[in-house]
Structures are given as C-alpha cells and as structure tokens.
Amino acid sequence: MAKITMTVNGKKSTGDVEDRALLANFLRDELKLTGTHVGCDTSQCGACTVHVDGRAIKSCTMLAVQADGAEVVTIEGLAKNGKLHPAQQAFTECHALQCGFCTPGMIMTTAALIKDNPKPSDEEIVHGLEGNLCRCTGYLNIVKAVKRAAELQAK
C-alpha cells in the first residue's frame, strides 16, 4: 500500500492505494469521480483520458502511485465557475455524441489538442483523436465539434 497525494481538479486529494492500483481506479473508486470512464481496459479506447500535469494520458495505463504529487484534471474539473469549457460547449452544440460513453475521453483529448494546436486542420484533428474510439461511429460530428471548440476557445 502507498499513501498518495495529488491535486485533482484543483483540490488536494489524499488516499491509500495498492501499488498496483491504476489512476483510473483511484479517481473512480476512491474519489468517486466517475466521469472518467473505463471502456476497454486494454489501453486502446481513450475513454479514461485525463490530464496529468497538463498532458492527456490514459488513466487506465498509469499507476495511481505514479501520479503522486501531480496535478490531475478530469472531466469534472473542466468547467470553470459554472461555465462549460469550449470543448464541452462545442460537443453539446454539435451533438458530438450518440451513447456518450466515449465523450469524457473525447472532450479531455480535445481540450489538450486545442491547447497545443489552437487551429487544427481536419487531418490534424483526426490524427489527434487516434487514441479515442467511438463505437457509435459518431466521428463526423466529433470532428466538427473539435473545430467548433477551437473557434470557441479563440473567442
């Protein structure tokens, strides 16, 4: 067991975890932040994407102990003062979801993508979303939403 402390969505969070616990488990089971979804559990679908120290990562493929001392942002921490993040706003406007299971990961990846590249082309968007799968095949609206998110961010 290890005692870990990290800042999650701006709040200091401490917990005791097994060495083998994944960051996704810690966020969901200990902190009850269930917006981070575990889709495939084989590191492929990206539904569990969160930001660790500003970078998008798959929280099912990082140990919770490795995030000790880190700054973590989950889908629950993206909106600020009741105002949706541009990525959240854009996914809503463009109806970029069908079942919605992949959406938290898609939005976290989008938020990171438009931070690195404020004006992505369609090709860069598709390349940037390679680590996120949507089994409803809703990609067209998702790509539109990323474009819209970039526009909203620029405003």
Partner 1 sequence: MYAFQYRKAKTLKEVGEWLAKDDEAKLLSGGMTLIPTLKARLAQPTQLIDINGISELSGIEVKGDVLSIGAATRHQEVATSKVVRDALPALASLAANIGDPQVRNRGTIGGSVANNDPAADYPAAVLGLNAKIITNKREIVAEDFFQGMFATALEAGELIVRIAFPLPKKAAYAKFPHPATGYAMAGVFVAETADGIRVAVTGAGEGVFRWSDAEAALGKKMDAAALEKLTLSTDNLNEDIHGTREYRAQLAKVMAARAVAAITGKK
The two structure tokens encoding residue 96: 């970029």
DSSP states along 75-121: GGGSSBTTB--HHHHHHHHTT--SS-TTHHHHHHHHHHHHHH-SS--
Q: Does 61 engage in binding with partner 1 (CB under 8 A)?
A: yes
Residue in 60, 105, 81 with CA at minimum distance from that of residue 10: 81
Q: Does 123 engage in binding with partner 1 (CB under 8 A)?
A: no
Q: Which is nearer to partner 1, 60 or 142 (CB)?
A: 60
Q: Which is nearer to partner 1, 95 or 116 (CB)?
A: 116
Decide if 27 contacts 50 (C-beta within 8 A).
yes
Q: Does 114 engage in binding with partner 1 (CB under 8 A)?
A: no
Cα gap 58→104, rounded to integer Å: 12
Instruction: Select the span of 27-35, 48-56, 81-89, 135-143 touching partner 1 (CB under 8 A).
Output: 48-56
Instruction: Select the span of 13-21, 26-34, 90-98, 134-142 touching partner 1 (CB under 8 A).
Output: 13-21
Smallest distance from partner 1 to CB 81, Å = 28
Given 128, 134, 148, 153, the residue binding partner 1 (CB under 8 A): 128
Using DSSP's 3-state secondary structure scheme, residue 31 falls into: coil
Decide if 125 contacts 143 (C-beta within 8 A).
yes
Q: Which residues bind partner 1 (CB under 8 A)?
A: 2, 18-20, 22, 41-44, 46, 49, 55-58, 60-63, 65-66, 109, 112-113, 128, 130-132
